Amino acid sequence: MANIYGKAYAMNTISPMKPWKTYILRLFFFIWQHYKPLGNGLVELSFIHFARWVIVPRYAFPRLSDRQPKNNLQYDYLLFFSNFNGTWNQYIDAFSAVLFKGLNLIWRWSEKFPGSRPVTPFKNFIVRGQVETDYYYTAYSHAATNDVKAAHRVQAAFDDFERLSNGMPAEKFAEAYQAFLVQVQRDLGETGEATVGT
């Protein structure tokens, strides 16, 4: 299935918006870009590697030749792309449970958006707007977002320990090694094959 590679799932959705509403959504995104509450919420969820929202105005679908038929659209379109860990259901459930206010502010400008709570109509809305991925690649398919963050913490601690312990007497080294173990122990989870989900 091209939507999934290793521990990552590639989700794509598209939804129509009346053009005047896109200005409001752009304003929200502009504010979030600078004041970070949405970004912080996504960091706390900690199972999204990368995500993006793209507003494509009705006149902005690329037209590269006079022979290419002209689009005649009434709506602007909101595209959403996410690279997340876990199953589709877990992802939407977590979004609905934790980020429902932010999600409502993003999608309420789309036609027929039912709200992110209760979750069943929200899932129906996502299913309707979802487009399948045809090819998906990740450079570290065996690692979830938490694995990546933990690995960078281990790398930093390892670099420090290696530098500081260089040339230490053996007894001092053993003490410093114990402190290093305490520092990294919660970040040593094993990466590997993803569990099978739905």
Enumerate residues 112-151 that contact other proteins by CB under 8 A. Answer: 112, 125, 128-129, 131-143, 145, 147-151
CB of 180 to other proteins, least distance (A): 9
Q: Which strand (E) or helix (H) includes residue 70? A: none
Phi, psi of 58 (to 5 degrees): -60, -25
Binding positions for other proteins, 96-115, rule CB under 8 A: 110-112
34/198 with CB nearer other proteins:
34
The 8-class DSSP code of residue 185 comes to G
How far, in whole angstroms, is CA 117 from its chain's centroid?
20
Residues making up the chain, counted from first to last: 198
End-to-end CA distance of the chain: 11
Binding residue (CB under 8 A) for other proteins from 21, 23, 32, 90: 32
Stretch that binds other proteins, among 46-54, 88-96, 115-123 (CB under 8 A): 46-54
Asked if 43 is part of the footprint of other proteins (rule: CB under 8 A), the reply reads: yes
Per-residue binder mask for other proteins (CB under 8 A), 53-72, x = binder: xxxx---xxxxxx--xxxxx
C-alpha torsion 98→145→7→96, nearest 10: 10
29/100 with CB nearer other proteins:
29
CB-CB contact of 7 with 87 (8 Å): no
Task: Give me the residues paired with residue 56 across strands.
Answer: 77
Binding residue (CB under 8 A) for other proteins from 21, 49, 108, 123: 49
Binding positions for other proteins, 147-186, rule CB under 8 A: 147-152, 154-155, 158, 162, 165, 168, 170-171, 173-174, 177, 181, 184
Asked if 74 is part of the footprint of other proteins (rule: CB under 8 A), the reply reads: yes
What's the token pair of residue 103?
Answer: 């999600």
72/195 with CB nearer other proteins:
72
What's the token pair of residue 194?
Answer: 């993803």
